[in-house]
Amino acid sequence: MRIALVGVGAMGTIIGALLTKNGEDIVLVDVNEPHIKALNEKGAKIVGHMDLTVPVKAIIPGEMEGIYDLIIYLVKTTYDDVALPEILPFLGTDSMVITLQNGVPEERVAAVVGRERTLGGAIGWGATFLAPGVSELTYEPVDMTYDIGEMDGSVTERVQAVKAVLDKAGEAHVSTNLAGTRWVKLMVNVSMSGLSTALDCTYGDILDDDKATIAAISISLETLHTAKALGITMEPLKGVDPNIMVDVVKQSEENAVNVFRMIYERSRELVASMLQDLRRGIPCEVNTLNGFLSDRSAEAGVSTPINDKVTEIIRGIQDGKYPLSFDNLDMIEVRPLQEIV
């Protein structure tokens, strides 16, 4: 199988390195020329929970050629308007494009490359881009999972083929409910990643602050209510039905805080990719994450005040209105969780 991984950020670097190491015919494609140069000259270096350097082949989009059987699409959603049309000439009738982007991007990708070519999936681990050619794996390798699927939920030979590829960079699971899988990842993105970005902090910093934790739980509940209103059945999060949080909140806010901290304890080191972008002075994916939830909740008639405020803070940071600071938490007004359920 001839593979191109398009969008070689923190996760793309690690996935590309592991697929190359494990024998896949893969080229890494990105517009970041210093990064591409470092990858070709020094290899893809993984640090953190893995110590590995792998010689890889990396190119800029203008150097793509021929037809690729599979494109693993990891471009930031902020650049879809440019990147998606660029891959079209390299897709054949039977080519596949699997989007592993943040948010719920399948319809947007399918609109350009065709529904018949589009698969989707959520990455269940995290990484930080440190320097050209270097990414830090912030999860244990055993926790490197993917949930992938067809847009219609069918289990096909081609999704099984993609699973076999991604199994070489972790452990992939085929989902028959891609929308539910996507919305669970969205819940993580808008709650923990959203707050990590708005407060300029790690996931651990959120978990260590009572108010920040309440805010994260509040956004999770807002996401659950929106998904329910839209008729979306949420998939388990790390083996736990996310709707259990509603029942726990009804019992006790203290218990809800303890359960939430337990769920995310292994993710303490994570720094949101949106925050990594803002720290580098480039636009982040707020419109397709927290902004997306605000838009969909408004359509569904669901109130999501905490997420809406986090969206406003992130956009304000991006526009220079607010600083990158944990003190932004003062702008968020939380209320008892029992009032949300």
Domains of the chain by residue range: 2-176, 180-339
Q: What is the pLDDT of residue 307?
A: 98
Distance CA(109)–CA(118), nearest Å, equals: 7
The model's pTM: 0.90
CATH of 2-176, one of 3.40.50.300, 3.60.15.10, 3.40.50.720, 3.40.1190.20: 3.40.50.720
Q: What is the pLDDT of residue 243?
A: 85
Pairing outcome for strands 134-137 and 44-48: parallel
Positions of the chain with pLDDT under 50: none
Output phi, psi for 147, to 5 deg.
-120, 115
Q: What is the pLDDT of residue 237?
A: 76
The DSSP annotation for 136-193 comes to EE-S-GGG-EEEEEETT----HHHHHHHHHHGGGSEEEE-S-HHHHHHHHHHHIIIII
Tokens of 80: 């879809």
Distance CA(315)–CA(332), nearest Å, equals: 14
**210 CB-side CA count, 13 A:** 6
Q: Which residues of 67-88 are buried (b: 16+ CB within 10 A; e: fewer)?
A: ebbbbbbbbbbbebeebbebbe
Q: What is the pLDDT of residue 242?
A: 87
- In the sheet that holds 134-137, the strands lie side by side as 52-54, 44-48, 134-137, 127-131
Q: What is the pLDDT of residue 239?
A: 75
CA separation, residue 157 to residues 31, 79, 150, 160, 237 (Å): 32, 30, 11, 5, 26
Q: What is the pLDDT of residue 71?
A: 98
Task: Using alpha carbons, select from 266, 311, 276 the residue that is nearest to residue 293.
Answer: 311
Q: What is the pLDDT of residue 341?
A: 87
What fold, for 180-339? Answer: N-(1-d-carboxylethyl)-l-norvaline Dehydrogenase; domain 2 (1.10.1040)
